[in-house]
Structure 1
Amino acid sequence: MSDTEVSPEIMLAFYKRLYPYKSIFGWLNHEHTPTRRFTHREWAFTLPPDTYVRYQSFADADELKKQVCQLNPTRFEIGPVYSAKPRDRKTVRAANFTPQLRELVFDIDMTDYDEIRTCCSGAGICKRCWAFIAAAVRVLDRAIRDQFGYKYLLWVYSGRRGIHLWISDKEAMELTDEQRRALVGWLTVIQGGKEMKKKVNVRQGTKSLPPGIQMSLESLRTIFHRLILEDQDCFAEEEGWETLLQLISEPSVTRRLRAKWEIKSRSSEEKWEDVKREARADKGGKIHDNMVAAMEDIVLQYTYPRLDAEVSKHRNHLLKAPFCVHPKTGRVCVPVDPSSIDSFRPERVPTVSQLLRELDEAGASAGAEATEHHSDWQKTSLKPYVDMLDRHVAALMEEVRRAKREAGPDRSW
């Protein structure tokens, strides 16, 4: 995927004509009329060449649009809902300006898979290594829904090589920093930098995995075989299979496998079969508990979601807004349906230049440009992505209406 710098003129045209401000407002606000969830929300703008403007806040979608078009940022980010309007923070005591609400967010980046993917590295991304992100989305989406009961999950492609998750359930919005750290700790399986070979330490000795991780393991075994052994062939080269051997806790098994693999070249799939045969060799066909644990941990290390935990732990963390344009690729940060994540292709995501061409070809009149930009996206290939967000918003708003009905006329959230 080649990098193409987006000019300020193209970016401004996108902000004026295509950015779905109304949909973004509904998603953050949860209601049709402005509430503190929007008016007390922090926005931050990155301006060329390297200016960063924080603590912006707006009364409604129109005010947000006016500021975005005036500043013409290369990107903008969304932060928490504060106890006071961020733009008024200098008029209140510091103790009275604190984050109150914030979506629970997660960030998964392809660069965290560089040590195991064999097809690309760095900023590169292709259909083959996107499978790592797809696997992470499937596992994390299911874990969050099943283990925590959250329903309002919005997955957003980052525009280049990663994906973000925003969770808007009331209970998720209200989590304290301490609760967020605990929740993220529960979901974190892969830990440690490049210098640490074994990155999975979620069990005591050879005891069973925690139930939530054990559930994920069932689907990850299939992913491991297809992605790690067959497609990426991660253990074909010596560096790869030496890492694999370091994750096996039985020295005698390791010695025999190394001796065998040094003599004859074998595929990753064949090497994994060798591991399984060695694991059974001394136990009459039954795999020793140590080897069961080691093999499960290997599957997890190569396929479980690699989370940037710091993004999720703090309410005041800023995260790039959906539908921003990635300044390097020109691609729009669009929502993604987790149920069809395997067929999602980053290279097919519309670019800002493509969308503006489509809009021009649709014959948008100059008068329409000047007055009613927010619906112009309907004339382009951005439409299915905005429609996806709007369905998400409709479900959020229905949840708020239901909660208000149950609470009675004098109480709301």
Structure 2
Amino acid sequence: MAATGNPAGEFESQLRWYYSKHFPIALFHRWLSYGDESYFPRREISFTLPGDIYLRFRSFANADELLETLKKQTPIKIDIGAVYNISPKERANVGASLVPLEKELVIDIDMTDYYDVMGDLGEGDPVVVCDRNWQYIAGAVKIVDTALREDFGFRHLLWVYSGRRGVHCWVADQGARSLSNEARSAIISYLSVKMVSDDNAGRRIDDITNPLHPSLSRAKREVCEPLFNEFVLQDQGMMRTPRRIKQMLSFIPNQALREQLLDRLTSTSSKNWSETDKWERVRHDLIKHNETKTADYIIFHYTYPRLDVNVSRDLGHLLKGPFCVHPGTGRVCVPFRAEECEQFMPAKCAPHIESLIEDVNNVAKGLQEAQPSLHLNKAIKVFQEFVVGLEKEKALAEEKKLHAKLSEIDRNGARDFLAV
């Protein structure tokens, strides 16, 4: 049986239909070509086939060849790797080493890394848990997107729902694609805050300073503090039980203060306090004892992006591409706009492969108009905007080069004329 609940053979048939009818192959090819015909054939595109058969170092001459292979092999996962010095599939036939040259800077955020900060909304099926706790992912998207744009100047970002429990970001600017592994590591370190485990709770955190670094100050003001007050305290109830209170207070390095607060917040006198009242008592006492850094760290611990740093550091690391169909959920891995991340709820906004088939059947029966799934159509539009933005920037850069060359020719011509 496939993980979607369908027999494996049926899921393969559904994938073949999806790749034939809905996979945006033309846009996919335009994106990974970046206006250079030699670029796409040197890109590694790897497949996971039904039965968990993993095929690495695939590469394709053009969009048609890739599409025909998708329809024939029906991969349950498409991974995108680096652009190499030679075509990866020709590596055995060419007397040269396979060297990765470029790849988008990628960011991976997974809901499983947030399980320790889930309270009332943390129980149930992992996919349902992701939907309930999407505010954590939305907060991470807003913080990372803002930092990449404002602090690093990147412009071409594609955010993609992973199909199950997280999101990926593809930073496609030329400057991002040509980053060294060291530069990628530096950027991902800048975007991260080191979180301590429960075993090391109470240890000093060097990433948090007083005053805060400007990027952390912005994240706290715009995202983390509102998310903490509204979602962590109210919806998750992370100060609703003695166990959760103890967990939150465990990050206070001052043992006497930690124990004093624990006694006070779990006593009968505080029984009718709201979660907001409890946190205000903690925050007040921390500031009073010159522990502002600890108050900030607690907020960041519960709300700041938790990034899989290893995915971002290595130029050769592969990442699942957009518009795959997740075999475990049947959901399409669709792009979305960062500014709409709070409204993007996976259960509602990520089309299911069976719902796409149902739409086609309803059209055949005359029950609805012949139009693509609303959410899939919107995702393709987001993808198209991303690709067109890249193409416009490349065209503008080439136009500037041409003007510069013509100006140089004009100057040289004038000098030659005056020299006569």
> Which TM-score band applies after superposition, normalised by the shorter structure?
0.7 to 0.9
Aligned to 1:269: 276
User: Would the alpha carbon gap of residues 346 and 69 (structure 1) be closer, same or farther in structure 2, given more than 3 Å must change?
Assistant: same
Match of 1:310 in 2: 310
Identity of aligned residues (%): 33
Residue of structure 2 equivalent to 1:373: none
1:144 aligns to what?
A: 148
> Aligned-pair distance for 1:8?
1.2
Whole-Å separation in 2 of the counterparts to 1:199 and 1:343: 37
User: In 2 relative to 1, CA 198–60 (structure 1 residues): closer, same or farther, beyond 3 Å?
Assistant: farther
1:164 lines up with 2:168 in the alignment: yes
State the shift of 1:107 in Å: 0.6
Unaligned runs of 5+ in 1: 281-286, 365-376
Give the alignment partner of residue 379 of structure 1, picking from 357, 372, 378. 372
2:218 maps to what in 1?
Answer: 215
Q: Secondary structure at the match of 2:56?
A: strand
Query: Residue 357 of structure 2 aligns to which amino acid in structure 1?
Result: L
Cα distance in 2 for residues equivalent to 1:49 and 1:199: 45
Q: Which residue identity does 2:250 align to in structure 1?
A: Q
1: distance between equivalents of 2:48 and 2:202? 38
Q: Cα RMSD between the aligned structures?
A: 2.3
Q: Deviations over 1:200-229 (max 9, x none)?
A: 83447x532222112211121111101111
Deviation at 1:267, TM superposition (A): 4.4
The equivalent of 2:413 in structure 1 is none
**Distance change (3 Å), C-alpha of 1:230 and 1:263:** same
Per mean C-alpha deviation after superposition, the further-off stretch among 158-167 and 266-275 is 266-275
Residue identity matched to 2:213: P
Provide, for residues 343-363 of structure 1, a one-character-per-residue CA deviation record: whole Å limited to 9, x for no partner.
111101210111122134334
Per-residue CA deviations over 1:29-51 (Å, capped at 9, x if unaligned) read 122xx523311100111112121
Alignment of 1:1-400 (within 5 A): 4-6=4-6, 7-31=11-35, 35-93=37-95, 96-118=97-119, 119-121=121-123, 123-124=126-127, 125=129, 127-193=131-197, 195-197=199-201, 201-203=205-207, 207-219=210-222, 220-264=224-268, 265=271, 266-279=273-286, 287-288=288-289, 290-348=290-348, 349-363=350-364, 379-381=372-374, 382-400=376-394
Shift of 1:188: 1.1
Question: For 2:291, what is the secondary structure of its paired residue?
Answer: helix
Distance in 2, Cα, partners of 1:113 & 1:387: 31
TM-score relative to the length of structure 1: 0.88
Larger RCO (CA within 8 A; separation ≥ 6): 1
Question: TM-score normalized by structure 2?
Answer: 0.86
Are residues 410 and 54 of structure 1, via their aligned partners in 2, closer, same or farther at CA, if it must alter by over 3 Å? Answer: farther
Query: For 1:306-352, what per-residue CA distance to the aligned partner results, in whole angstroms no more than 9, with x for missing partners?
Result: 00000000111111110000111111000011111111111012101
1:218-256 Cα shifts (integer Å, max 9, x gaps): 121111101111111112222221122121233332222
SS at match of 2:240: coil
Whole-angstrom CA distance in 2 between matches of 1:192 and 1:251: 17
Greater mean alpha carbon deviation, residues 115-124 or residues 213-222: 115-124
**Cα distance in 1, alignment partners of residues 240 and 95 from structure 2:** 61
CA distance in 1, matches of 2:95, 2:142: 44
Give me the whole-angstrom Cα distance separating, in 2, the residues matched to 1:245 and 1:71: 53
Shift of 1:276: 2.8
Asked if structure 2 preserves the Cα contact closer than 8 Å seen for 1:16 and 1:69, the reply is yes
Task: Give the aligned partner of residue 370 of structure 1.
Answer: none
Compared CA separation, residues 196 and 256, structure 1 to 2 (3 A): closer
Answer whether contact 1:200 1:301 (CA < 8 A) is retained: no
Count matched residues: 386
Structure 2 gaps, min length 5: 406-420
2:418 counterpart residue number: none
Q: Deviations over 1:103-158 (max 9, x none)?
A: 00001000000001121257242544110001000111101111100000000001
CA distance in 1 between partners of 2:302 and 2:258 (Å)? 19
Query: CA offsets, 1:278-302, max 9 Å, x none?
Result: 246xxxxxx44x3211101111111
Could you tell me how far apart the structure 2 residues matched to 1:16 and 1:139 are?
37
